[in-house]
Structure 1
Amino acid sequence: MNKKQSKQIIRIALLLGTVISLFFVPWLLVKAWILPLPNTMQEQLDQAVDHGFEGVVVYVDQAGHTPQYLASGWHNREKQIPARPDALFKIASISKLYDAVAVTKLVSDGRLSLDKTLAGYLPSLVGRIENADKITLKLMIQHRSGIPNFTDAPNFWSNPTKSYEESLVLILDQPAHFPPGEDYEYCNTNYMLINKIMDDELGYSNFKFIQDEILSPLKLQNTFSSLSEVELKDVMSGYHVGYEFDLKEDEHGMLATAEDVGIFLRALNNGTLFAPGEQEIYSSIYEYEHGGWVPGYQSFAEYNKDLDAVVVAFYNTTDAKLYNWNLSEIINSRLFKIIEREQD
């Protein structure tokens, strides 16, 4: 067999592999990916609703341009209330960006140390969480602790825990998933413990610290710690495929408007959020964009350096197999392509 024939066989094998793989990918994802790019962002959001999302909210902040506030679909399907660009939304794990900034500021002030261990901060967990004497604050922030993830407990999302103590019980005395620092595994337990550490150091809720040190300087008045602080009518409804009820009333932590998240993300990426020396600390421990997921709500806070553009996208429909998450990522990439095309 000559070199040319070998290349032809490789091409055929790759083509067959691609064709076969398509049988295992929902055609909706393929369709969303190959459709011609719409002329406007609003058309792309309308297309997302056609793909099955009940509602979508998007905020766009590109340097040198007026911010865009976009929405499509339903704010509340049952009451036929159209989607609102100013709706409050459960931002889920996007909140980790705020936590990481808060830790950065406390480290800069000398109130926390990235090298101090979990055993040092929470000595009661020694013997209950494996490697507590080796897991540092930095490893927890970076999801490199090896601690089991409490939200992976069987049937967790059908009956979520409501307190730190209830959540902690789900992972106590469980074996570590890997030695500290030797691997990476996204883990909500890390940030639950980080929040406890901050509360203990501050002597009050770390969200008040976030308000004082992050939200107030940025004049963000539409970011909240829980449902108890807001009018429920202002919260976008959330839906999960196969579950008929609105998930709006389920408590899942921080809520914000897309604009508030976008302003925060811009300040995070351009450094105006930080005092001197803080950005170097932050850059050494965490990332500059994030996604979030809880039943009924998936959110994305993304920044494109080349375009100098922030895009915050909220989708109020989730599913168990995360097809909608993948679909959202396709739509997000197309939004950035529209921005790029308009820039050219």
Structure 2
Amino acid sequence: MPHLRLLACLIVLLAGCRVARAGDDPDFAVRADALVAPYARSGIFSGTVVVAREGHILFRRAYGLANREWDLANTPETRFRIGSLTKQFTAAAVLRLVEAGRLSLDDPVCAHVPGLPVSWATMTIRMLLNHTSGLPNVTALPDYITRTARLDRTPLETVSLLFGEDLLFPPGSVYEYSNTGYILLAALIERITGRPFVDHLNHVLLAPAGLAPMADGDALLPRRASGYHRADGAWRNAMPLAASVPSGAGGLWATADDLVAWDRALLSGRVLSPASRATMFADGGNGYGLGWYVGNAYGRRLWSHGGFLNGFAAIKDTYPDADLTIVVLGNTETAPAQALSRRLAALVFEAVPDTQLSVSDAVLARYVGFYRIAPRSVLGLTLEGGRLVASITGRGRIVLSPESDRVFAGEGDTRIAFDIEPDGRPTGALLDEGGLVRSGPRIDSAMARRITARRIGRLTIP
């Protein structure tokens, strides 16, 4: 009997250990919401967040509006554009074709897609997958925003727009991220299978694994979110984008739950063989596998990809050794998806947040200038030692740190999000000071002088 009582005590103690493990904190959802809520309060973030570990949901919540015109709220079941998260599905579909013996990663692309330019002859399927093909980005075409992005085309028709362009470098010699390569992969999949790209994903990749079908933008999608950007200090509908244009590079829509289920299926072996999965996550020397960025965070392996596309920002971070998946899907271009995801991971691991974000001086320099945030108040930005520094009428200086390439945080609860046009021009700013939210357009120095009038000494205006 004493031994049985001792055994019972040990069982109770061991059961208690699970509660104490990082990520099993019953207050985790409260702390996660406290992290995300300030971004939603100001409108910088609108979307859905899910944190899942070992198949159990630790946090699942929606914020903001799916449709601003109809005042419809986002829900966990809302569908979002997932942008470049599409690439991991495209890569998995190609690896399944390899498993079926229908192609090899080192096959020249032209062996399966006839009619490509002669200069592309040495370009292999693997080079498309790991961004070493030399293909320029279709998004860099001069008329991409005004014409190319607005017209429906097949994947091969989109790629053909680059047939007259020079390669950026000899195939296989340099890494440079290219959406064009993944659009060409969608064309390759269609050529080999005889199915439209999304149909092939659903019937051959997702359905056998027991996963919900993915959708492209042509379908009538229940609970579809609208995408938004800001211009001149006000919310606008995102720029139009034909559903077919991003294709295998960024054409899918999904819920956060869909992406968590995808991770579970992929990591459990229901989608790819162990050998194919190892190939997918092998670092080719550039921090990129096949459709995934591969690296480390918080002392653990991290497999990740973000997505940014006309009114939407997304990320899915997978920590395979911790069986942890974090999904952030937003329907505003201001959503700092990566920063949110990495900070949520820090909560799980009880670690100091490490967002590992850097923004080039060239991008920071665009924001230097003045923004009218109230009838008599101006936000001024300068660049000092590689950091943006804000000064607000009647206030001191605030040194800012990037949370994305358009959202910056200062001391306390201060946060600034910039309105950016597709050509990179900032046209306005949103300032959140601990719940006091103000926004307005970019102005010139003469206007800034007139607005601040007697308080001019508080701003540095050349």
TM value normalised by structure 2: 0.59
Q: Alpha-carbon deviation of 1:207?
A: 2.2
Kindly indicate whether residue 331 of structure 2 is the aligned counterpart of residue 331 of structure 1: no
SS state at 1:154 partner = coil
Provide Cα deviations, 1:262-304, integer angstroms capped at 9, x if missing partner.
1112322343322364324434551343111111011111112
Alignment match of 1:162 (pick from 141, 152, 155): 152
In structure 1, C-alpha distance between the alignment counterparts of 2:338 and 2:274, rounded to whole Å: 35
Kindly indicate whether residue 271 of structure 2 is the aligned counterpart of residue 282 of structure 1: no
Q: Alpha-carbon deviation of 1:65?
A: 3.5
Q: Alpha-carbon deviation of 1:97?
A: 0.5
In structure 1, C-alpha distance between the alignment counterparts of 2:165 and 2:242, rounded to whole Å: 26
The one-letter code matched in structure 2 to 1:189 is T
Change beyond 3 A, Cα 1:222–1:103:
closer
SS state at 2:60 partner = strand
Query: Unpaired segments of 5 or more residues in structure 2?
Result: 1-27, 244-250, 283-288, 293-302, 352-462
Task: Tell me which residue corresponds to 1:312.
Answer: 327
Alignment match of 1:113 (pick from 93, 104, 126): 104
Kindly indicate whether residue 95 of structure 2 is the aligned counterpart of residue 104 of structure 1: yes
Q: Alpha-carbon deviation of 1:212?
A: 2.2
The one-letter code matched in structure 1 to 2:224 is V
The structure with more helix, counted as a fraction of residues: 1
Provide Cα deviations, 1:129-187, integer angstroms capped at 9, x if missing partner.
x3x11110111111100011101223523440421355234312211111111111111
Kindly indicate whether residue 271 of structure 2 is the aligned counterpart of residue 263 of structure 1: no
SS state at 1:299 partner = strand
Alignment match of 1:213 (pick from 188, 204, 220): 204
Q: Alpha-carbon deviation of 1:216?
A: 1.2
SS state at 1:198 partner = helix
Alignment match of 1:238 (pick from 220, 224, 227): 227
Alignment match of 2:81 (pick from 82, 86, 90): 90
Instruction: State the structure with more CA Rg.
Output: 2
Query: Unpaired segments of 5 or more residues in structure 1?
Result: 1-36, 319-323
In structure 1, C-alpha distance between the alignment counterparts of 2:270 and 2:258, rounded to whole Å: 15
In structure 1, C-alpha distance between the alignment counterparts of 2:317 and 2:328, rounded to whole Å: 8
Change beyond 3 A, Cα 1:69–1:46:
same
Change beyond 3 A, Cα 1:248–1:157:
closer
Tell me if structure 2 keeps the 8 A contact 1:227–1:255.
no
Tell me if structure 1 keeps the 8 A contact 2:43–2:64.
no
Alignment match of 1:143 (pick from 106, 111, 131): 131
In structure 2, C-alpha distance between the alignment counterparts of 1:335 and 1:238, rounded to whole Å: 24
In structure 1, C-alpha distance between the alignment counterparts of 2:172 and 2:156, rounded to whole Å: 26
SS state at 1:259 partner = helix
In structure 2, C-alpha distance between the alignment counterparts of 1:192 and 1:102, rounded to whole Å: 13
Alignment match of 1:303 (pick from 301, 307, 318): 318
Tell me if structure 2 keeps the 8 A contact 1:108–1:277.
no
The structure with more strand, counted as a fraction of residues: 2
Change beyond 3 A, Cα 1:123–1:227:
closer
The one-letter code matched in structure 2 to 1:213 is V
Tell me if structure 1 keeps the 8 A contact 2:80–2:330.
no
Q: Alpha-carbon deviation of 1:249?
A: 7.3
TM value normalised by structure 1: 0.78
Considering Cα pairs closer than 8 Å and 6+ residues apart, tell me whether 1 or 2 has the greater RCO: 1
Task: Tell me which residue corresponds to 1:191.
Answer: 182
Tell me if structure 2 keeps the 8 A contact 1:239–1:296.
yes
In structure 2, C-alpha distance between the alignment counterparts of 1:303 and 1:182, rounded to whole Å: 29
Tell me if structure 2 keeps the 8 A contact 1:54–1:77.
no
In structure 1, C-alpha distance between the alignment counterparts of 2:344 and 2:160, rounded to whole Å: 42
Kindly indicate whether residue 217 of structure 2 is the aligned counterpart of residue 226 of structure 1: yes
In structure 2, C-alpha distance between the alignment counterparts of 1:101 and 1:153, rounded to whole Å: 28
SS state at 2:342 partner = helix
Alignment match of 1:48 (pick from 34, 39, 43): 39
Change beyond 3 A, Cα 1:93–1:85:
same
In structure 1, C-alpha distance between the alignment counterparts of 2:212 and 2:55, rounded to whole Å: 24
180-189 vs 162-171, which deviates more?
162-171
Q: Alpha-carbon deviation of 1:310?
A: 0.2
Q: Alpha-carbon deviation of 1:328?
A: 2.6
Tell me if structure 2 keeps the 8 A contact 1:45–1:71.
no
Task: Tell me which residue corresponds to 2:163.
Answer: 172
Change beyond 3 A, Cα 1:213–1:86:
same
Q: Alpha-carbon deviation of 1:222?
A: 5.2
In structure 2, C-alpha distance between the alignment counterparts of 1:281 and 1:305, rounded to whole Å: 15
Provide Cα deviations, 1:291-330, integer angstroms capped at 9, x if missing partner.
1111101111111235321011011111xxxxx36x3322
The one-letter code matched in structure 2 to 1:137 is I
Task: Tell me which residue corresponds to 2:380.
Answer: none
Task: Tell me which residue corresponds to 1:201.
Answer: 192
Q: What does 1:37-76 correspond to in 2, within 5 Å?
A: 40-53=31-44, 55-63=46-54, 65-76=56-67
Change beyond 3 A, Cα 1:256–1:249:
farther
